[in-house]
Every structure is written in C-alpha cells, then in structure tokens.
Chains A and B, each alone.
Chain A
Amino acid sequence: MTSETAAPLAVEALVRGHRLRLVEIAPWLIGGLAYFLFPDYLALGAQILIGIIFSLSLDLILGYAGIVTLGQAAFFGAGAYTAGLLAAHGWGEPLSALVAAGAVAAILGLISGAIILRTRGLTLLMLTLMISFMLQEAANKAGSITGGADGLQGMAVWPVLGVFHFDLYGRTAYLYCLAVLFLAWLAARRIVHSPFGRSLTGIRENEARMHAIGSPVFGRRLVIYTIAAAFAGVAGALLAQTTQFVALEVLSFERSGAGLIMLIIGGVGRLYGPFIGVPLYMIAQDRFAQADPVYWDFWIGLLLILVVVFARGGVLGLADQLRRRLRRTR
C-alpha cells in the first residue's frame, strides 16, 4: 500500500464512520413488519424491545467503556418501581413517568457511580453487585410500599398521548416500546460515534494512555455510567407500564446476568449486538424454555462457554470474520 491510497483510506474511514449505512434500516423494517406478521406474539415482541434497550445500556458501559458490572438490574428495577409506584398512586401518564423513571435511575447511577467508579476489577464488580442486592433486599423488605415478594400491583396506566389505550393484544405496548427503542437507538448511536464515545473506547482499550493524553477518565466513566443507568431505567419503566406489574425480579442478579448473556451472544462493544442477541435469546427461550427449563439452562450455559472460548465477538463478530475471509479468497 502506498501512502497515496492509505491516506484517503484511513482518513475516509474515520470521516465516514458515523454515516448511516443501508443495513442500519433493517432492524426497523423487521420491527415494523413483525407487528403485522406476528400479531399473536406482540407481548413477546414488546419484551424483546425492552430487552434490547436494557442490553444497549449494558453495551454502552461494558462494551464501550469497559466497565464490567453485574448490577445493572439496579437501574432497571429503579425505573420499573418509579413508573410502577407513580401509576399505582394516581399518576398513570406513561410518557412523563418514563422520563421520571429515567431521571431517578440516572440520579441513582450518578450517585452510586461517583462512589464506586474509583475502584477497578473485582472490587468494582463486587460493589455493583452489592448495590443491586441492597436495592433488591430493600424492595423485598419494604413490602408496604413495593408489595415485596408478591410484586407491586394496582397500577393504572393511562393511554399513551391520551389516545392509545394499552390493549389486550399488546398492540399499543409493542408500538410504544418500538418508538422508545428508536429514540434510545438514536441517542446511543450518537453517543458511540461522538468524540466522547471514541474516548470511552480509548478508556476500555488502555486507561493508562488515556490518563497520559490528559483525558478526565473518571468524569467520562461517570457520565456514561449515568447515561446507561437512565437507559436501563427507561427499559424498566417500559416493562412496568406494559405489563402493569412490577416483580422483585426486576432488581435481580438474574436480570443483570441475562442482559450480559444476550449482549455477549449478539456481540459486545457493537451498537447492534443487542439487536441480534436479545431477539435470538428471547425467541429461543420462548420456544424451548417453557417446554424444558432444565435443558434450556444447560444449553445456554454451554453456549456461553463456547462463545467466550471460541467467538468472543458474538454473532456479529463471527459475521465480520466470515466477511473478511470471503474478501480474502476473492
């Protein structure tokens, strides 16, 4: 390669990195088509869309900034309970509740992040776990407010925009979630392509160097931790509003873990990892887990090990490898 071709190549790659490619429309085409093709599965569809937002929040902190957390459910749950409590106490307006849920989760993310993000490695992992366990235990024991282990009931969610009632078929729920996911995607896409997003990748790749080039690493980590918490909070609120119920499970380690697993299957550190991993996982779970949960757990465990050992990039990573190999043989 001569510098003549290398120069435009390298520069162009950076200049064009953020431009919308045709394939990026695919998720929205599929999401829209699914509404008409699978009218009986819209409830599952809404769950998948919520899962994608949650997984996207994990992707931002873990995939991009390299902050390994096992407690992201803390923010999901905080959002779910915020929306749930509002609706159970007379404020059923969904959009404002969604904003409130995101804000509560963001504040929780900001405060907890400010405390724990100075640590690294196992200590940080433990602290994220502790915070989610504390919240879950608090919600469990504060039964008079949260309904404890029985879950929060009595939510009355008003129609979206005052017009669209949540119906039994889940039509409104599905489209509502799809619209919120679209906004979340716009925001996430903007973030990862921004200089801020690139600097997060820098922190993940080499923190020492980021310090050495004068990057305020702690501040950057805190900002993305807070944003991701808001994403997770919004996802939690969507779950509460569309199911009109909040179970303790929203705060559980299992939820944090499942979010991680879906992300790693799709491809961690890639904007579209959640869009691949979450539907794959949740559709497969819907097909197989009900029939035999024991086998499901076993195969998911095995799959996880195989992905970690042989396919760290997940489905999208494998696709990249395949494409590169094809290009080489051509």
Chain B
Amino acid sequence: MSAALETTGLCKNFGALAVASAIDFRLERGARHALIGPNGAGKTTFINLVTGALRPSAGRILLDGGDVTALPQAQRVKRGLARTFQINTLFRGLSVLENVCMAISERLGVAGDIHRPAGSRREVIDQAYAALERLGIADDAPRLVRELPYGRQRLVELAVALGLEPKVLLLDEPAAGVPSTESGIIVEVIESLPQDIALLIIEHDMDLVFRLARRITVLVQGAILVEGTPQEIAADPRVREVYLGEHVSP
C-alpha cells in the first residue's frame, strides 16, 4: 500500500547552500511521526517543500501515491494535505468562528461562490462551530483572533487545519511560544485526533516528541541522519552527538 506522504530524492538549494539534500521520507497512513533536528536543519524548509510553498530543486513528492510535485499549494490541500504554522498564521481581524469557516468553505468548494451570501451556508457555519466545540474553544467563537491569548490562538491554528479534514497533517512546532503550563492542552488535543490522520510533527520539545511520536526522523543539515522508534533514536549515539546530548540523559 502506498504511503500517505512520500518524498524521494527531495532537494532544495538556495544558491550554493543545500537546505534539503536527497530526502527520502515516508509517512505511513495514520502515522504519529516526529521530525526533529537542530536549528537550521531544514525542518521548516521540508514542510514548505511538501506543501508547495517552495519549489524543490530536484526530487518527487507523492501524496497518497499520486505525484504532486508540480501541483500548486491549493491542489495539494484538495488532496488532503494540511499544515499548521510555527508562528500563528491566522486571520487576526476576523472572529475565531470565521477563521474556521474560511477553511471549511474551501474544502466544500463553495468559497469561490460570488452569488449566495456566506451566511446562507448554514452547513459551513455549523461544521465550523462543531470543530471549535471538539477542541473546547467554542466559547471563543465570536471573539477576534487578535484578542485571544497566544496559547488559545495555537488551538485556533489547529482548528483551521482540521477544518480541512486532512489525511496528512503537518504540525510545525504546535506548542511553540506557549507556556509549559498550557502546552498540556495542546498535547491532549493532538493525542485525541482521529487515528486515520497521518501526523508529522516538527518539535523542539523532546518530552512532547517522545509522548506523541511512535516514529522519529532526525534531520541534520538538510539530510536525514537516522530514522527509527523513539527508543532507537534515544539510544543512537550519532543522534546524541549532534542533537540530543544535552537534552536526554542516557
């Protein structure tokens, strides 16, 4: 069976600088997979290549077995690929509910409709509200995003991505910028996501990685150093040398 997401020989060069070199990566269906690596290892670049925000210099990207390398971002989303951003990337001047409505309108293919009023699409609004309820932020539905504390905005970030009902969800440091007292809520939400969504989590916080991931890939200087189960990664001497040394005691 084909993987939910697969890259073969994925390369990206900025001038002479190789930020991704020959990345062969497989994300299985329903996976709980973490991508870790030191700062500047090319993790966010990898996400941008997969989503289509960046064009690769070489290599292929397969979504559910289909080649999407040449497709624009919007087409990849239609095929079930969604992402969250490391720094909140939301419609700050709109209400929380409308943020999610925006994603659901796009998924249902009604967002280009110029004739009927948006408010008459009851199904969009109801689905959006239900999504907020599932994440426990329905109380914030009428509030403007910019009025919310950052941690709450992180949940909206997730709600918008989930509104797309993705098969593959890329989470770029989902708990970044959130005080550790509040990151627990985010972890719980991620743990409770439907099992058929394949998750790729980029994360710095090792506690979080070991709690969420069943597989870990270590990226160093744009190339995959090693891949394995959390136990294998924790035990791997190379990983400890380049990355984990100071984080995890043997």
Which A residues lie at the B interface, using CB under 8 A? 1-3, 6-7, 9-11, 13-19, 190-191, 193-199, 201-202, 205-206, 208-217, 219-220, 223
Contacts and interface: CB of A to CB of B under 8 A. Distances in A.
A146 to B, nearest CB: 34
Contacts of B148: none
B159 to A, nearest CB: 12
7 contacts: A6-B141, A9-B141, A193-B117, A196-B111, A198-B101, A209-B85, A216-B112
B97 A11 contact: yes
Contact of B51 (A3, A191, A212): A212
A220 B105 CA distance: 14
B60 to A, nearest CB: 21
B247 interface: no
Nearest to B104: A213
Nearest to B75: A214
Contacts, number: 150
Given A206-B91, A212-B82, A214-B74, A196 B112 contact: yes
Interface in B152-172: 160-161, 163-164
A6 B140 CA distance: 8
Contact of A198 (B92, B118, B139, B140): B118
B119 A16 contact: yes
Contacts of B97: 10-11, 14
B139 A18 contact: no
Contact of B102 (A199, A217, A223): A199
Interface stretch (B9-17, B30-38, B121-129, B194-202): B121-129
Contacts of B96: 10
Given A193-B117, A214-B73, 19 more contacts: A10-B96, A11-B129, A15-B122, A16-B119, A17-B119, A18-B119, A19-B119, A190-B117, A194-B114, A198-B101, A210-B102, A212-B83, A212-B161, A213-B77, A213-B103, A213-B164, A215-B74, A216-B112, A217-B74
A14 B121 CA distance: 10
For the complex of A and B, the 5 pairs showing the least CB-CB separation, nearest first, are: A214-B77, A18-B117, A10-B141, A10-B142, A205-B91
Given A199-B105, A211-B73, A214-B164, A10 B116 contact: no
Contact of A206 (B83, B92, B111, B114): B92
Nearest to B72: A216
Interface residues of B, number: 55
A197 B107 CA distance: 16
B120 interface: yes
B119 A193 contact: yes
Nearest to A217: B74
Contacts of A205: 90-94
A206 B156 CA distance: 14
Secondary structure at chain B's binding surface: helix, strand, loop or mixed? helix
A18 B95 contact: no
A197 B115 CA distance: 10
Interface string B199-220: 0000000000000000000000
Given A194-B114, A212-B73, A213-B102, A202 B91 contact: yes
Contacts of B117: 17-18, 190, 193-194
Contacts of A10: 95-97, 129, 141-142
Nearest to B81: A214
Contacts of A16: 119
B227 interface: no
A125 to B, nearest CB: 22
B107 to A, nearest CB: 7
B86 to A, nearest CB: 12
Contacts of A196: 111-114
A11 to B, nearest CB: 5
Contact of B111 (A15, A17, A193, A199): A199
Given A1-B139, A11-B97, A14-B98, A211 B74 contact: yes
B53 to A, nearest CB: 7
A217 B52 CA distance: 14
Nearest to B110: A195
Contact of A195 (B121, B139, B142): B121
A231 B119 CA distance: 25
B89 interface: yes
Contacts of B82: 212-213
A206 B119 CA distance: 21
B176 interface: no
B106 interface: yes
- Which of A1, A7, A18, A223: most chain B Cβ within 10 A? A7
B91 A201 contact: yes
A219 B75 CA distance: 13
Contact of B139 (A6, A17, A215): A6
B240 interface: no
A19 to B, nearest CB: 8
A199 to B, nearest CB: 5
A196 B109 CA distance: 11
B110 to A, nearest CB: 5
A25 B51 CA distance: 46
A216 B91 CA distance: 17
Contacts of B163: 213
